[in-house]
Amino acid sequence: MKIMSEVFLGEVAKERKETSKENKGRYPIVGLEHLISEEITLTAWEENKENSFTKIFRKGDVLFGRRRAYLKKAVVAPFDGICSGDITVIQALPDKILPELLPFIIQNDALFDFAIGKSAGSLSPRVKWENLKNFRFELPDLKEQSKLASLLWSIDSTKKTYQKLIQKTDELVKSQFIEMFKDTEKVKLSSIAEIVMGQSPPSDSYNEDRIGLPFYQGSADFTDKYVTTRMYCTSPTRIAEAGDVLMSVRAPVGTVNLTDKECCIGRGLAAIRSKGTSEYNEFLLYAFRTMEDEIVAMGQGSTVLSINKDKLHGLLMPDAKKKQQEAFISFVQQSDKSKYDYFSWMLGGAA
C-alpha cells in the first residue's frame, strides 16, 4: 500500500535567492519569453547579451513564471544561468523530494490554479513565493517518488515525439501552401479583409463574472483553433465579430485563433474578417499559420515586438479563388486529423 503524506510546497522546496551583479556574461540568459506554456523543458535562451538580470539559477532548479500564472510557464533548468525577476527560482530539498519529480509538481494545473488565486495586480498579476509555498499536495516516499518521476519523464518523452510529428506535418502544410499559390496573384490583406486593431478598455471594466463581452488582451487564451474565455469587460472599445480571425500583434506576434462569439479585443490583438463570406475566415486562419515566419518578421520594437496597422494592412496574401481556398482548407483539415489519429494511437486509442 502506497503511503501518501500531505505536504506544503515550502516544506519540500525553497526559493533560491542567489544573485550576481558581476561576471554575468558567463551565464546563459533566460527571460519569461523563453518559457513555453505547459512545457517542462527549456528549449530557448540567449547568450552574450547585455541585460539587467541578477537572479541566478542552477541546473535542476525549476523556473516558474510568476507573472501571469495563467500562462502556465514552469520549466526545469538544464544548466546554470541568470534569469528575469519575473521568474521564481525553486530549488528542491533532496531529502524531502526528488529534484526529478519537482518539475511535475510545479508544472501542474492544480498549482497554477492556486497561483492564479494568490496573484495580485490587474494587467500583469504576479504571485510571490511567500504565497506559492503554501500550495498543499500529496507526496509519496522517496522510493515511490523515483518510480513516479520515471513514469512522468517517459510520458513527457512520448509527448515530444508527438510534437516532432506535428512539426513535420506543419512543414508539409507550408510546402503545400507555397506550391498551391505560387502562381496566384498577391494582394494586400486590406483588399480582401476588414481589419480591426484592438484597443484596451478601462481596466476597471475587467471582470471574471461573465458580465459584459468576452475580452481578450492577447494570445494567452488561444488554443489549437478557438479562443477560450476567461475575462470579460463592461466597457468594450474595439469589437470582433463571431467568426473573425484573431491575430496577436504584440509579442508573441503572429499567432492566430478564431472567435466563435462577439468579443472585445485589447491592443495585443487584431480582428480580421474576409470581405467575402465568413467561411473564408478559416482559409485566412490556415494561411496566416503557414506565413507565421513572414508575419513575425514584420514585428518592430527593441524590447516588445509588435506589428502596426500599416504593416498588417500591407501583408501580401494570395488572392485565392473559392475552389483554391476550399482545397487548401480540406488539405489542412486532413493533416490535423492525421495528427489526432496518431495521438490517439500513442495513447492506445487505436487498440
**Tens digits of per-residue pLDDT, 215-248?**
999 998 999 899 999 999 999 999 999 999 999 9
Beta strand 206-207 with 231-233: parallel, antiparallel or unpaired? antiparallel
Spans in the chain with pLDDT lower than 70: 1-2, 23-25, 302-303, 342-351
Q: So what's the pLDDT on residue 349?
A: 45
Q: So what's the pLDDT on residue 20?
A: 85
Helix, strand and coil in the chain, % to nearest 5:
35, 25, 40
Q: So what's the pLDDT on residue 348?
A: 60
Given CATH 3.90.220.20, say whether it is the number of domain 185-319.
yes
H/E stretch holding 206 reads: strand 206-207
Q: So what's the pLDDT on residue 351?
A: 41
Distance CA 197, CA 271 (A): 6
Beta bridge partners of 263: 240
Distance CA 300, CA 109 (A): 34
Q: So what's the pLDDT on residue 277?
A: 82
- Check for a shared fold between 4-140 and 185-319: yes
Domain ranges of the chain: 4-140, 185-319
Q: So what's the pLDDT on residue 123?
A: 75
How far from 297 is each of 4, 83, 311, CA to CA, in Å? 51, 26, 10
Distance CA 256, CA 28 (A): 31
Q: Which amino acid is at 74?
A: A
Q: So what's the pLDDT on residue 165?
A: 81
- Please give the CATH superfamily to which domain 4-140 belongs: DNA methylase specificity domains (3.90.220.20)
Q: Which segments of the chain does DSSP mark as H helices, in order?
A: 9-12, 102-106, 109-118, 129-132, 142-181, 189-192, 281-290, 292-296, 309-313, 322-346
